[in-house]
Structure 1
Amino acid sequence: RLRWSLRSPGCRRQLSLLEMPAKLTITPAVMQVSAKGGTTKHRLKCVGDQRVVFKVKLKAKYYKFYKVWPVMGFIQPGATREITFTRKPGRIGKDYLVIQYIIAPSGYDPREPFVKGAQIGKLIFKIEAVEGDPMHIEETTYRGDVITDAGQDWKRAVNRDEDERIEREIAAQYDQLRADVDQGNLDIGAETPTGRSQESEGAVSGVIP
């Protein structure tokens, strides 16, 4: 009969394999929009057992073309969140866009850089700018990288109420920004309050629509 010692390498490996993973998926993963401008809506889903925090990353060459809502946020295990991309008039072409995400530890605020040492998942999807009216494309789903919280250098744990407060605050902040845009109190090309992110070389956080 096999017996495992908690100090044995085999047992440590077994325990490491029990780390709760998660990943994001995006549906639809490919959409068309008119080169004259338009909007696409996508569904992000957290597949796994842990809460995930995501940030939209736009390469500099896409920054002037796209406005994103929301730029960042939390997604609970099994939950789905809608994300909107508004493309300004511009050239015809295929744009490959990126969403990065990590397991969200207790107390983490996404307005801060990603947690040091965190595994960063990447989800890439495509928006095609076409001449004339966009075609309806059969809905597909892309799956991002599977990640765990292994390696995270994080010690700022808080209680559940504080985590929920941070989530509400982030959501309310973007609701207010969107209201300001709708009322004409903010330029639609304005950056988010977090400014440009330095977490990924050559990439910046998206902007609100």
Structure 2
Amino acid sequence: MAALAVDPPALQVPASAFKIRSSNNENYRLKPVYGFVEPGAASPVEVTRTNGPPKDDKLVVQFIEVPAEATDAQEVFKSGVPQGEVILPMSAQ
């Protein structure tokens, strides 16, 4: 079984909607890809790695502020430009 390291292991963003992308969609599954998070709250993300050769990859977390009545995070990112992003290096060994 391979070990996976993500740095940093936790992240705080100043927005209420997020989108997560991976540099390696062949070996990583993310759940959820889109979501909302209340101010000061946490939103766990499940990262699953399938079999494949060990290598360095990255997760990109994009974020955007949305109105309280927004209900579809994916739609928010289709119609709006992210306010920022954080790149998280990952390493499967």
TM above 0.5, one fold? Answer: yes
Q: Distance in 1 between matches of 2:43 and 2:80?
A: 26
**Residue in 1 that maps onto 2:75:** 112
- Rg larger for: 1
Partner SS for 1:82: coil
The higher relative CO (CA closer than 8 Å, separation ≥ 6) is in 2
Q: Which has the higher helix share?
A: 1
Q: Distance in 1 between matches of 2:57 and 2:68?
A: 34
Using the TM superposition, give the Cα deviation of residue 120 of structure 1 relative to its aligned residue in structure 2, in angstroms: 2.6
Q: Is contact 2:22–2:58 with CA below 8 Å preserved after alignment? A: no
Change (3 A) 1:44 1:75: farther
Among 31, 42, 63, the alignment partner of 1:69 is 31
TM-score by length of 1: 0.37
- After TM superposition, the runs of 4+ consecutive aligned structure 1 residues lying more than 2 A away are 42-47, 115-120
Among 65, 74, 81, the alignment partner of 2:43 is 81
TM-score by length of 2: 0.74
1:54 aligns with 2:41: no
Structure 2 regions of 5+ residues with no counterpart? none
Deviations 1:109-145 (A, max 9, x none): 2131426454431011121111xxxxxxxxxxxxxxx
Change (3 A) 1:119 1:56: closer
Q: Distance in 1 between matches of 2:51 and 2:5?
A: 11
Q: Distance in 2 between matches of 1:82 and 1:58?
A: 16
1:123 aligns with 2:90: no
Q: Distance in 1 between matches of 2:21 and 2:54?
A: 21
Q: Distance in 2 between matches of 1:56 and 1:69?
A: 9
